[in-house]
Amino acid sequence: SKSMGFEIIEQLGWRVPQHTVVCMASGSLLTKVHKSYQEFIKLGLAPATPYKIHGAQATGCSPISTAHKAGMDFFKPVKPNTIAKSLAIGTPADGFYALRVIKETDSAAEDVSDDEIRDGIRLLAESEGIFAETAGGVTVGVARKLIARGKIPADDSVVLCITGNGLKTLDAVAGHAGRTREIRPSLREFEALLEAEARLAASEAAPRC
């Protein structure tokens, strides 16, 4: 998990982002990203600038975010009920430490509903061409909430940790992805589909008389 934090700093030109949004299951990823930031700062590889690491959970399994919003230093175990199965840990092993990091960095923890998770998946796919699994939808959905509430200013640097490929959770978006096409697994079929879609898009964009 620390390698993610190391790569974030390296990819940003050896600086720590002002905000990082991390999905939470056990809470370990959030604590390790924080640890990696601290290690690079102590080694002099990144400037010691203030940063926040926000935690993201699904509402159907949100023991850490619920505890943080209630001002508690401990969490209450819950029974998971969410489409974000990779985050469905009702008794997070590192929950206490995640709560401590969020508090120490003056960060936030938030959660999103299943519909908001799907909206996050769709937004990322449409805007960046990245098809994330449900945990990625959680991260995007929580980031949208924090931006809307002013917790993440529009001009600040932000990194969203998207942790999985959407092909792993197709069942979560089945019936919600709009029009789909099925083809045989061949380059020829794929290219033919792209050409057909391009012609359709061109005809729809053409002016009507």
Closest CA to 164 of 199, 119, 133: 133
Residue 197 lies in a domain: no
Helix spans in the chain (H):
2-11, 28-42, 63-69, 95-104, 114-128, 134-148, 170-173, 187-205
Mean residue pLDDT across the chain: 94
Domain membership flag for residue 185 = no
What pLDDT digit, counting tens, does each position of 16-68 carry? 999 999 999 999 999 999 999 999 999 999 999 999 999 999 999 999 999 99
Q: Give a yes or no: residue 181 inside a domain.
A: no
What is the structure's pLDDT at 209?
62
The answer to whether residue 194 sits within a structural domain is no
Residue 123, pLDDT score = 95
In a domain, 207, yes or no: no
Q: How far is CA 142 from the centre of its chain?
A: 8
Length of the chain: 209
Domain ranges, residue 17? 2-173
The per-residue pLDDT for 157 is 97
Residue 118: per-residue pLDDT: 95
* C-alpha to C-alpha distance for 111 and 113, rounded to whole angstroms: 7
- Digit-coded pLDDT (tens) for 174-192: 777 667 778 999 999 999 9
Give the pLDDT confidence score for residue 13 in this predicted structure. 97
Question: What is the share, in percent, of the chain residues with pLDDT greater than 70?
Answer: 98
Looking at the domain assignment, is residue 144 inside a domain?
A: yes
pLDDT digits (tens, 9 = 90+) for 88-118: 999 999 999 999 999 999 999 999 999 999 9
Indicate the pTM of the whole model.
Answer: 0.86
Q: Residue 90 falls within a domain, yes or no?
A: yes
Give the span between the Cα atoms of 83 and 172, in whole angstroms.
6
String of DSSP letters for 117-168? HHHHHHHHHHHH---B-HHHHHHHHHHHHHHHTTSS-TTS-EEE---SBGGG
Compute the distance between CA of residue 128 and CA of residue 143 in angstroms, rounded to an integer: 15
CATH number of the domain within which 132 lies: 3.40.50.1100
Higher pLDDT, 139 or 177: 139
How many domains is the chain partitioned into structurally?
1
Residue 48 falls inside a structural domain: yes
